[in-house]
Amino acid sequence: MTEVSTTREHAFDGDRRAVVTGASSGIGAETARVLAKDGWQVVLLARRQDKLEALVDEIESSGGVGSYVVCDITDEESTDTAVRRIIAEGPVKALINCAGGAIGKDPVASADLDDWRAMYELNVIGTLRITQKLLPTLKESEGTVLIVSSTAGIEPYEGGAGYCASKFAERVMARVLRLEQIGEPVRIIDVSPGMVKTDEFAVKRFGGDADKAADVYAGVPDPLHAGDIAESIRWAVDLPDTVDVDSLVIRPRAEGSYTKLDRRS
């Protein structure tokens, strides 16, 4: 099913214009807020128009500049339409790939193939699709492709094979693209968050089960929040164009690894 694309018109100067995917919630939404506050003109991409409209209103009421395009990056036509509209409004300096998610936590022996397929379509193919389409204009502006992957792509854990595999693929995509673009005027940055407590991530993973979602963070003092990752993204993209943060791993102090947590009763 193709999403209907909608955009708000703004006069962009193109100097610091960032496209943020997954911008309707979590890390994507907070990244849009932080970048707008830092002087970036932000273009928000996600499927939920009401969330995008509300966030653009919030950004503009705070003195920032924002617009949105309703876009499903798992759909070719939707993404193609969105990219055409974005490019028509001017150059893009940064693509921040925040769209992604986990579905289920089943062992390999009984995992749902459709869950794996959905995670690959969003986390891997969707990221690839929007990156391919915006890469030419990013090179013209000496811009940045930033991919928010996960520490799940670094260290696997039981019950997480599908999500871990998709995030490993996403991290490899970033690394290979970095190698392939050596000599080109573009940066490729991978940001790999550890435990981040957001309103929707764990709830969606467990099919809306709020109790299971709460158990993920139970007893862990001070897990990361979306704003922590957003500030890291802001720092990375604000560095000089010739400075590439190849890979940035961010965890709360309480997390040494997925299986080594300071979890208190």
Instruction: Report the distance separating Cα 24 and Cα 200, nearest Å.
Output: 11
**Beta strands at 94-97 and 144-148: parallel, antiparallel or unpaired:** parallel
In the chain the beta strands, taken as DSSP E runs, fall at: 17-21, 41-46, 65-70, 94-97, 144-148, 187-193, 196-197, 224-225, 247-250, 255-257, 260-261
Within 10 Å of residue 110's Cβ, how many Cβ atoms? 7
Q: Long-range CB contacts (< 8 A, 24+ apart) of 166-173?
A: 166/116, 166/119, 166/120, 166/123, 166/124, 167/100, 167/123, 169/120, 169/123, 169/124, 170/100, 170/123, 170/124, 170/127, 171/147, 171/247, 173/124, 173/127, 173/128, 173/131, 173/147
Contacts of 229 (CB under 8 A, 6+ apart): 27, 30, 31, 148, 191, 193, 196, 250
Pair 90, 14: CB distance under 8 Å? yes
Q: How many other C-beta atoms are found inside a 10 Å radius of the C-beta of residue 234? A: 17
The residues annotated with a catalytic role in the active site are: 163
